[in-house]
Amino acid sequence: MDRTHNPEFTQMEIYVAYKDYHWMMNFTEDMLEFICNEVLGTTQVQIGNEKVNFKKPFKRISMTDSILEHTGIDISNKSEKELMEACKSIGVEVTESMGKGKLIDEIFGEKCESNYIQPTFITDYPVEMSPLCKKHRDNPELTERFELMVNGKELANAYSELNDPIDQKERFEEQVKLAEKGDEEAMFIDLDFIRALEYGMPPTFRDGDWY
Task: Assign 163 a pLDDT band (cuts: 50, 70, 90).
Answer: confident
Nearest 5 degrees, angle CA 184-CA 192-CA 100? Answer: 35
Write the DSSP symbol of residue 187: P
Domain boundaries, the chain: 14-162, 163-200
pLDDT at 39: 96
The arithmetic mean of pLDDT across residues 182-210, rounded, is 79
pLDDT at 208: 58
Number of helices (H), then strands (E), belonging to the chain: the values are: 6, 8
From CA 14, how far away is CA 197, in angstroms rounded?
A: 19
From 209, 168, 158, select the one nearest 192 (Cα to Cα).
168
pLDDT at 7: 54
From 130, 112, 35, select the one nearest 73 (Cα to Cα).
112
From CA 38, how far away is CA 23, in angstroms rounded?
A: 22
The rounded percent of the chain whose pLDDT value lies above 70 is 92
CATH pick for 14-162 out of 1.20.1600.10, 3.40.50.2020, 3.30.930.10, 3.40.50.1110 = 3.30.930.10
pLDDT at 82: 95
